[in-house]
Structure 1
């Protein structure tokens, strides 16, 4: 059996005594559960620990695997230079994993590591594991030294994270490695008003979902969690848990939620998953296949529920990407779409933004504050193409991405000048921040993760290259009618 056990763990640095200076007593259940995890890892004495961390090198479209012979790190950024870890990487397993990813077309590998030092998402679990290893060796236990495979997360789909986990299982089995998988990740960071990140009802809801999934071994729930809720909850561990789920693909398991706490406004959950049979032996645990079926049905449902505004935006972008054709909505629409469009799309003029998301991540957003075309229909068609192919933050949308895109169309009211921030509400109004030399930045209203006026103004200003503290800035507000 290549994956001997898997564990989901949090990574609060204050749990390390040299950082916490006694505060770690406030999450004693987490400390105790961590020590139990470390005990089980030492009992297994794996050849390799595979550890995924949200704070390792991450890219939007690439799953990074740390290369080289090894790495080290300390908790110096948290005021503790004395505690840290130095590890050797399992170079053979890393190489085989990269080859397997390349062979199946998964964007994963060792390219582009910005900082080779071990991050705290790795250092915290290693602290407890190494502490247990040292204790046993002091007691005379001749424990072999493990090697590490370190994996970062990405903006790719849940399925791609799961596929990387499957490849971990496959390559470890091919090489005869006995591995333990450790998925590092906190739960919601928004559990309390007096916490460092504030509160949202989605915080406790997210933690409840994940803890239930841990208790029941329901990895499909980890794959299908609503991305909007996850963003609002400010979680960081979900994609780490998805890779872990893939490493246990088709494996019968015993699942245990060892602890859950959230005393500092951040959720800390620890869970253990113990195989009870060989990997690949339990067809009912083919979570990747079940996710594919769910995702296809979900995308079909979304397509069927799209408003006419969104259908028009989709048809415009798809026609351009597939055929290089800029449609004229006055004459180039198929009969079913033309018949579904309300007259107001052709009789009114307004600014409009088209936003594209893929895998829950922004894939493009372009719009016009005021109308520049003869009708709202033409505005939407043009801005859909710009969002998909002209947004400088992203590469142009490719044909194989079209089926995965989720669209929003926001129709803007005419902006009105306001006296100051007190006249804003990020849930109701969008904001335009203007400065000298014609610089201007805009942010739409009611965006996930934007809860305060200060955040809204700051983001809008930075988008326009404006210092949000510049006393000369002026503000305008507007409302939107959002079509999804």
Structure 2
């Protein structure tokens, strides 16, 4: 036995009559589809139901699996009393999944529970499943994480492997809404990326095109304020390598939030649908191409942080570096990005080390471990990082902002021992005045306080 199917379902509290009080009929198609999806699961006669929820315990780099024998929840947070749902847990499955994850070095398990009660992302699917006759079937509740799409997919693969090893006929209920930005008068407003995301996601669910789910652009997902993608990816991973019969039963968004309902029935094996392996190969190829484009400055920054994270020691200056990295001294900034977003940036305005190479080595480690805006970079993140290295030229005093442009020059502002710096050519900074204002904020220099300005050029290495 193994994973035999699954459903992707939303979790709007208003779908329940006790909350909606008549408003739920504005999503009548979703209600009918939800009931059909629940019956589909019931017809599979599962031994275990996995429910993945965005609203249970969530950690940045760890997947939480709820421990214990049972759990219950209610609707009091939605001002509804007297309505509760209770379920027993499949403790043995949760423990076996945790054991397998530990053996694979995968960050998932039962540690770190903060609130054992059922969240609404779990309670609402359970309500429909129990109404379909599945009250006695034990559940495993799985939370999401801040890790990337591939890690969520891999968790689904581990769930499928656990089901196979235990001989459990298992189904997945992936709980999650789509975009929260479909209407101006909706609770979260409108963004054009909202409908774009929902179109792509529902088409992927309709066709069981799990590669499309894996490759949805992070920026699109963020701007759309989506909720359920990572939940759906766990479901997709559990169906990796399987022939499936998909059905998109409904899609609605009258309240400004997208609700999709889809079912997936496993009909056999299909090696052409091993999307996890294909995605990993593409990702590894892209990473290799990116590294091949890196110059010696960036390669040194990457090697420095990776060495420190993996060993806890600072990298010794390697042999074979160019003369200008060994003979010259300068201030250096090292910036890290993860999935296109800043992950750390630390630098020195003036040279503080023997040479540029040493400046890079130390600032790369600091960018990854000492930027107060971020937690230290973990080993699991290293392969996702991209680096840039800015080598600063000599600072020159200027009288006014009109003397430089933001693309070419960085700025240093100074006032009574306080100093702030901003690098050039940063996204969203289009005028010298913006550049100066941000540098003043970084320095803690208030309005009306006197300050001096210096400009500098950089050589940016990527």
**1:367 equivalent in structure 2:** 346
TM-score by length of 1: 0.74
Q: Are the counterparts in 2 of residues 258 and 270 from structure 1 also a CA contact under 8 Å?
A: yes
- Does residue 389 of structure 1 match 2:369? yes
**2:8 equivalent in structure 1:** 8
What is the distance in 1 between the residues matched to 2:447 and 2:120? 38
The Cα of 1:15 is off from its aligned counterpart by 1.4
**1:229 equivalent in structure 2:** 220
Residue among 348, 351, 354 paired with 2:335: 354
What is the distance in 1 between the residues matched to 2:187 and 2:108? 33
- Does residue 118 of structure 1 match 2:106? no
**1:239 equivalent in structure 2:** 230
What is the distance in 2 between the residues matched to 1:479 and 1:265? 47
Q: Are the counterparts in 1 of residues 329 and 351 from structure 2 also a CA contact under 8 Å?
A: no
**1:185 equivalent in structure 2:** 176
**1:217 equivalent in structure 2:** 208
Residue among 238, 244, 251 paired with 1:253: 244
Q: Are the counterparts in 2 of residues 363 and 394 from structure 1 also a CA contact under 8 Å?
A: no
Cα pair distance change 1:68/1:442, threshold 3 Å: farther
- Does residue 201 of structure 1 match 2:198? no
The Cα of 1:356 is off from its aligned counterpart by 3.8
Q: Deviations over 1:146-176 (max 9, x none)?
A: 1110000112343332232222222223333
What is the distance in 2 between the residues matched to 1:4 and 1:473? 68
Q: Are the counterparts in 1 of residues 157 and 237 from structure 2 also a CA contact under 8 Å?
A: yes
What is the distance in 2 between the residues matched to 1:77 and 1:200? 28
- Does residue 291 of structure 1 match 2:279? yes
The Cα of 1:303 is off from its aligned counterpart by 2.4
**1:48 equivalent in structure 2:** 48
Give the secondary structure class of the aligned counterpart of 2:87. Answer: strand
Give the secondary structure class of the aligned counterpart of 2:6. Answer: strand
Cα pair distance change 1:306/1:100, threshold 3 Å: same
Q: Deviations over 1:426-453 (max 9, x none)?
A: xxxx9x9xxxxx8999999758xxxxx9
Give the secondary structure class of the aligned counterpart of 2:5. Answer: strand
Residue ranges of structure 2 left out of the alignment (5+ in a row): 396-409, 413-417, 429-433
What is the distance in 1 between the residues matched to 2:226 and 2:102? 29
What is the distance in 1 between the residues matched to 2:225 and 2:350? 35
Q: Are the counterparts in 2 of residues 353 and 368 from structure 1 also a CA contact under 8 Å?
A: yes
The Cα of 1:376 is off from its aligned counterpart by 8.6
1:276-355 to 2 correspondences below 5 Å: 276-277=267-268, 281-306=269-294, 310-311=298-299, 313-318=301-306, 324-325=313-314, 334=320, 338=322, 352=333, 354-355=335-336
Give the superposed CA RMSD.
4.6
What is the distance in 2 between the residues matched to 1:80 and 1:412? 60
Work out which of the two has the higher radius of gyration on C-alpha atoms and give 1 or 2: 2
Residue ranges of structure 1 left out of the alignment (5+ in a row): 134-142, 415-429, 433-437, 448-452
1:318-467 to 2 correspondences below 5 Å: 318=306, 324-325=313-314, 334=320, 338=322, 352=333, 354-357=335-338, 360=339, 364-368=343-347, 382-391=362-371, 393-395=374-376, 397-398=378-379, 402-408=382-388, 446=427
Q: Are the counterparts in 2 of residues 355 and 409 from structure 1 also a CA contact under 8 Å?
A: no
State the number of aligned residues: 437
**2:57 equivalent in structure 1:** 57
Residue among 142, 146, 152 paired with 1:151: 142
